[in-house]
Amino acid sequence: MKPIRIDTFCHLKFLSQLRISPEGGSAAMVVSEIDKKKDEYRSFLYLQREKGWEKLTSFGHEAAFQYLDENTILFPGKREEEEEGALTSHWYTISLRGGEAQEAFAFPIPVMKLLPLPDGNYYVLGKTFPGFEALYTGNEKLHRAFREKQTAEKDYEVIGQAPWWWNGQSYTKGAYTSLFHYDVKKKKLRRVSAVNENISQADLSPDKKTLFYMSSPVAPLLPMTGASRLFRMELPSEETECLTECRPDFELFSFLPGKSFLLIFASDGKYGLNTDPDFWKWDYASHKLELYARYGESIGSSVGADIRYGGGQSAKMDGDTLYFISTRFDGAYLFTLEEGTITQLDSRPGSVDCFDVKDGKILMAALRDMRAQEVYDGNGKRLSRFNDAALRGFYVAEPESLTVNRGGYDVHGFVLKPFGYDPSKKYPVILDIHGGPKTVYGPVFYHEMQYWAGKGYFVIFCNPTGSDGRGAFMDIRGKYGTVDYEDIMAFCDAALDAWPAMDKNNVFETGGSYGGFMTNWIIGHTDRFRACASQRSISNWFSFYGVSDIGTGFVRDQNASDPWNDPEKLWEHSPMKYADRVKTPTLFIHSFEDYRCPIDQGYQMFTALLAHGVESRMVCFRGENHELSRSGKPSHRLRRLSEITEWFEKHKV
C-alpha cells in the first residue's frame, strides 16, 4: 500500500448529469477529467452500451445535454472561435446510431434550456440584457451596439441592482432569464415572458399540453426569497394563470410536473432561509392546491466532498411518484413519495449525488464504499469502473465513527487514522470543519483528508449544531460562534481522549466558508491549536452585509440582526471583534473572484493579526472563486493544498 498523493484527484473521473433515454433503452452522462498539461477540466458525453460505458463525444466541453428522442442527444457547446463579446449560443445533436455531432441551433443570445414541443418547435430559457432587450431578434446592428458598449465600458461597471455579481460568473450586468418561443423553420425567437420578469424554472407537463414556470420581478434590490409566483400556460393558446405565489408562511422552492398533478416544493419559513420544504400538489383536473406530505428535510446531497465536478438531478417525477435525494444524518439517500407516503429506498452509507429513473428503473451516480464516484442501479449493483485504477494500491483510511453526547443532543463525527498507524506512536492531528453551515461531513472519500492521513496525520471532522440532515438541528440563527463552537471543541476533546496516539501538542485546524468563519472564531477564543488555516472565510458581519452575492437577507436571517437593528449582536458574532486575542499562527486562503465570501473578509482578519504581532500568511488566487478547493484550476488546487500542508508541517513541535 502507498499513501494518497497530493495530485491523486487529478487522475479521477467525475460523473454528472446522469440521464435515462425517453423509452429506457439507453443511458448517458457527463464524465469529466483533468488535463494537467492544459491545467483544465475536460468533459465528455458517455453512453451506456452492453459492454459498459463508451465515450460518445471528444471535443471536451460537453458539460450538459438532454435526450431529444430515443436515438438523439442535444447538447450546448462552442466549437468555433467567435468575435469577442459575441452572445451566440450553439446547440448540437448527435445520433446514438453513430456519426459526428451536427449543429442544430445557433441562438443570438445565451440559451440555458430547451423544451421540445410536439410540433418540432421549442420553448427556450435565454438571457435578457437591460437596455438591449431585443437582442433575441438577432438584429446585427443591435448586437454590434451591445458589443461596442461592452468594449467602451470594459474598464468600469455600472451597477443598478444588488446583488450585482454572482460567484463564478462575475458581474451580472443586470442580466436576467426570459422565456421565449423558438420557431425552428423560421429560426426566430419570440418573447413570451414580460420584460423585467425573471424566470427561475420552466417545465412542460408530461403530455406537453401545459407549460409551468416560476417567475419574480426584476428589482433594484433582489430579494433572496418571497417574490416568486407559479404560473401555468395552456398550449398552444399561451393562456396563462397564476396558480400560487409566495407568502410569509409559504415559500416556493421549485416544482415538478407529474402525470396527474403538479408537485410543488414549498416551506413554511419556520427556520428562516434554511427551512426545508414540504410537498404540495396542484391537481390537473380539480385545479386545487393542497398539502401532499409534510417533510421538512433537505432535498439533494449536502454531503461534503472535493472529488465532484458538475451536478445532476436530485428530484424527478416518474408518473405520479416522486423520486428524490435527501440528506439524512451524515448521508444522502434516495427516497420516494407516493400517495402521500415517503419511503427510503436505500441506506448504504455515502452520498447519492445525482440519479435518473424511468418506469421504476433507477440509475445513480454515488460516492460509496470509500470510492470515488461510480454508477449504481436501484439495487445497489455497481455498473461502472471509472475510478478503480486511479485508487488501486493506495491506502484509503476508513472513517471511524465518534459520537459525543452534549446533554440534550449528540454531535457525530469521524476519525481517519494515519498511514502506517502504530498505536504505540504519536501522530499529529488535523481538525477539519465543513462549510455551510447547513452541510454535513459523511463517510465518503475526501481527497484532502486522505492526503493528510497519507502524510501521517489523524484527521478528525464532525457535524456540529447548524449541520444538515437532522431537521431543526440546522437552525443556528443568532447563535454563530456559540453552541457550534462548543460542539466542535467537545468533539475535538473526545477524539483526543479516545485515541491516545493523537499528539495533543500537535493539533491543527482548518475549514472553508462557514468552516473559515469558525477558524477565525476559534483563533480568537482558544490558543489550543499549533496553527490554523482559514479558507474563503467570513470575519466581519458588518462588512459582509453589502458585498456578498447571497444578498443582504443572509446576514439578517442568520444573525437575527443587521447593522441598524441590534448592531451590537452583529459585532458580537464577528470574529474580528476578538482578533486582538489571537496568538495562533494562521494561514489565510482566499480567491479574488470569490463573491460568496469576498476577499476583503480574509484581508481584514489577516491584517488584524499582523497588527497584533501574530505570525500570519495570506495566499490569494487570481481567476478563482468560492469553489477553489472543488473545481478550481488543478494547479491552483495543488498549490492550495500544498500551502495548508506546509503551514502545518512548519509549525509542528
Q: What is the pLDDT of residues 227-262, one digit of tens each?
A: 899 999 999 999 999 999 999 899 999 999 999 999
Q: Can you tell me the distance from the alpha carbon of 320 to that of 259, in angstroms, rounded to the nearest whole number?
A: 5
Q: Helix (H, G, I), strand (E, B), or coil: what is residue 607?
A: helix
Return the closest-CA partner of residue 93 out of 107, 105, 109.
Answer: 105
Reported confidence tier of residue 571, pLDDT bands at 50, 70, 90: very high
Q: What number is the average pLDDT over the span 174-201?
A: 97
Q: Can you tell me the distance from the alpha carbon of 33 to that of 49, in angstroms, rounded to the nearest whole number?
A: 21
Q: In this structure, are residues 1 and 395 in contact, taking their beta carbons and an 8 Å threshold?
A: yes
pLDDT at residue 282 greater than cutoff 80: yes
CA 545: distance to chain centroid?
22
Predicted local distance difference test score (pLDDT) of residue 234: 97
Predicted local distance difference test score (pLDDT) of residue 86: 83
Q: In this structure, are residues 27 and 361 in contact, taking their beta carbons and an 8 Å threshold?
A: no
Reported confidence tier of residue 568, pLDDT bands at 50, 70, 90: very high
Predicted local distance difference test score (pLDDT) of residue 551: 75
Reported confidence tier of residue 210, pLDDT bands at 50, 70, 90: very high
Predicted local distance difference test score (pLDDT) of residue 51: 79
Return the closest-CA partner of residue 541 out of 554, 526, 524.
Answer: 554
pLDDT at residue 79 greater than cutoff 90: no
Q: Which amino acid is at 444?
A: V
Name the β-bridge partners of 267: 251
Distances 78 to 17, 75, 570 between C-alpha atoms, Å = 19, 10, 46
Query: 114-134: buried (b, 16+ CB within 10 Å) or exposed (e) per residue?
Result: bbbbeeebbbbbbbbbeebee
Q: Helix (H, G, I), strand (E, B), or coil: what is residue 135?
A: helix
Q: Can you tell me the distance from the alpha carbon of 96 to that of 28, in angstroms, rounded to the nearest whole number?
A: 10
Reported confidence tier of residue 212, pLDDT bands at 50, 70, 90: very high
Q: In this structure, are residues 336 and 321 in contact, taking their beta carbons and an 8 Å threshold?
A: yes
Q: Can you tell me the distance from the alpha carbon of 113 to that of 133, in angstroms, rounded to the nearest whole number?
A: 19
Which domains are delineated in the chain? 397-650 (3.40.50.1820)
Q: What number is the average pLDDT over the span 443-451?
A: 98
Q: Which three cell numbers stand for residue 647?
A: 503551514
Q: Can you tell me the distance from the alpha carbon of 98 to that of 95, in angstroms, rounded to the nearest whole number?
A: 6
Phi and psi, residue 429, nearest 5°: -130, 140
Burial class (CB in 10 A: 0-12, 13-18, 19+), 406: middle
Chain segment 327-359, per-residue pLDDT in tens: 999 999 999 999 999 999 999 999 999 999 999
Phi and psi, residue 107, nearest 5°: -85, 145
Burial class (CB in 10 A: 0-12, 13-18, 19+), 159: middle
pLDDT at residue 367 greater than cutoff 80: yes
Q: In this structure, are residues 320 and 338 in contact, taking their beta carbons and an 8 Å threshold?
A: yes
Predicted local distance difference test score (pLDDT) of residue 85: 73
Q: Which three cell numbers stand for residue 583?
A: 496568538
pLDDT at residue 388 greater than cutoff 90: yes
Burial class (CB in 10 A: 0-12, 13-18, 19+), 589: buried
Peptide bond preceding 634 in cis form (omega within 30 of 0): no
Q: In this structure, are residues 332 and 302 in contact, taking their beta carbons and an 8 Å threshold?
A: yes
Q: What number is the average pLDDT over the span 527-549?
A: 96
Predicted local distance difference test score (pLDDT) of residue 552: 83
Q: What number is the average pLDDT over the span 291-312?
A: 97
Q: What number is the average pLDDT over the span 180-200?
A: 97
Chain segment 452-481, per-residue pLDDT in tens: 999 999 999 999 999 999 999 999 999 999
Name 336's Cβ contacts closer than 8 Å, sequence gap at least 6: 321, 322, 323, 324, 342, 343, 345
Q: Which three cell numbers stand for residue 270?
A: 419556520
For the chain, the residue count is 653
Q: Can you tell me the distance from the alpha carbon of 351 to that of 446, in angstroms, rounded to the nearest whole number?
A: 12
Reported confidence tier of residue 46, pLDDT bands at 50, 70, 90: very high
Predicted local distance difference test score (pLDDT) of residue 614: 98
Predicted local distance difference test score (pLDDT) of residue 50: 80
pLDDT at residue 54 greater than cutoff 80: yes
CA 615: distance to chain centroid?
34
DSSP state of 397: P
Rg from Cα positions in the chain: 25
Predicted local distance difference test score (pLDDT) of residue 49: 83
- HEC assignment per residue over 71-106: CEEEEEECCCCCCCCCCCEEEEEEECCCCCCEEEEE
Reported confidence tier of residue 439, pLDDT bands at 50, 70, 90: very high
Q: Can you tell me the distance from the alpha carbon of 264 to that of 99, in angstroms, rounded to the nearest whole number?
A: 41
The helix (H) or strand (E) run that includes residue 19 is strand 14-20
DSSP state of 473: G
pTM value?
A: 0.97
Q: Can you tell me the distance from the alpha carbon of 381 to that of 402, in angstroms, rounded to the nearest whole number?
A: 29
Q: In this structure, are residues 279 and 262 in contact, taking their beta carbons and an 8 Å threshold?
A: no
pLDDT at residue 82 greater than cutoff 90: no
Reported confidence tier of residue 605, pLDDT bands at 50, 70, 90: very high
Chain segment 113-148, per-residue pLDDT in tens: 999 999 999 999 999 999 999 999 999 999 999 999
Q: Can you tell me the distance from the alpha carbon of 275 to that of 439, in angstroms, rounded to the nearest whole number?
A: 13
Predicted local distance difference test score (pLDDT) of residue 164: 87
Q: What number is the average pLDDT over the span 627-646?
A: 98
What average pLDDT is seen over the chain?
Answer: 96
Name the β-bridge partners of 510: 432, 533
Peptide bond preceding 163 in cis form (omega within 30 of 0): yes
Return the closest-CA partner of residue 363 out of 27, 620, 111, 125.
Answer: 27
Strands (E), 122-259: 122-128, 165-166, 170-171, 176-183, 188-191, 197-204, 210-217, 229-234, 239-245, 251-257
Predicted local distance difference test score (pLDDT) of residue 202: 98
Q: Can you tell me the distance from the alpha carbon of 177 to that of 202, in angstroms, rounded to the nearest whole number?
A: 11
Q: Can you tell me the distance from the alpha carbon of 67 to that of 73, in angstroms, rounded to the nearest whole number?
A: 4
Q: Which amino acid is at 521?
A: W
pLDDT at residue 84 greater than cutoff 90: no
Q: In this structure, are residues 525 and 581 in contact, taking their beta carbons and an 8 Å threshold?
A: yes
Q: Which three cell numbers stand for residue 179?
A: 422565456
Predicted local distance difference test score (pLDDT) of residue 16: 98
Predicted local distance difference test score (pLDDT) of residue 225: 77
Q: In this structure, are residues 296 and 471 in contact, taking their beta carbons and an 8 Å threshold?
A: yes
